[in-house]
Chains A and B, each alone.
Chain A
Amino acid sequence: IAGITQAPTSQILAAGRRMTLRCTQDMRHNAMYWYRQDLGLGLRLIHYSNTAGTTGKGEVPDGYSVSRANTDDFPLTLASAVPSQTSVYFCASRLATSTDTQYFGPGTRLTVL
């Protein structure tokens, strides 16, 4: 693995179903982030983690949960998907919670019907 990987690449999901988007990085970055990107709205922060064992809420956290059991993995869970959660989801990481550059995974395209 080199950088950040996300799985799945794309998914079509029925409303009401539970879904976990996976994110793994091998750069030993402390901070990790989940964004959603919708046309015309730019990237919006869902949840973040400054270091393993801690998480925080971003701008649009409702309907989503995260965990950070170790440095490498930062899964995002939709407990009961709704159509408004149709979006492209990007995971990102950076070395520390300072002015380091954020690096992005390839994204997951999620459609909730």
Chain B
Amino acid sequence: GQNIDQPTEMTATEGAIVQINCTYQTSGFNGLFWYQQHAGEAPTFLSYNVLDGLEEKGRFSSFLSRSKGYSYLLLKELQMKDSASYLCAVMDSNYQLIWGAGTKLIIKP
């Protein structure tokens, strides 16, 4: 079956760095997406990885290892507005997105 695993909840301190991990087992792989979702709102796109390595975009970076079925989202210089859920999704061989349950990130001052 297809499976995406990520931690349910994480807590970090304002100004610090946090890494949110995602492991996956899917039928085929056409890329991995990270989305941010604030409470009561729609998911918004953060990053896309299809090749191994690190993609950096401002304070956010995303890493992919296809051989290990593993990705992480790295958030630097955490701000209170980064408190949200972070969703990992893999595009399978049918180009459909398979979603993880999301990681709720709590930022403390």
Seen from chain A, the residues whose Cβ lies within 8 Å of a Cβ on chain B are 35, 40-45, 48, 58, 90, 97-99, 101-107
Contacts and interface: CB of A to CB of B under 8 A. Distances in A.
9 contacts: A40-B101, A42-B100, A43-B99, A99-B48, A99-B91, A102-B97, A104-B42, A104-B43, A107-B42
A57 B72 CA distance: 30
Contacts of B96: 45, 48, 58
Nearest to B88: A42
A42 B95 contact: no
Contact of A106 (B42, B45, B50, B91): B42
Nearest to B94: A97
Contact of A101 (B45, B87, B95, B101): B45
B101 A41 contact: yes
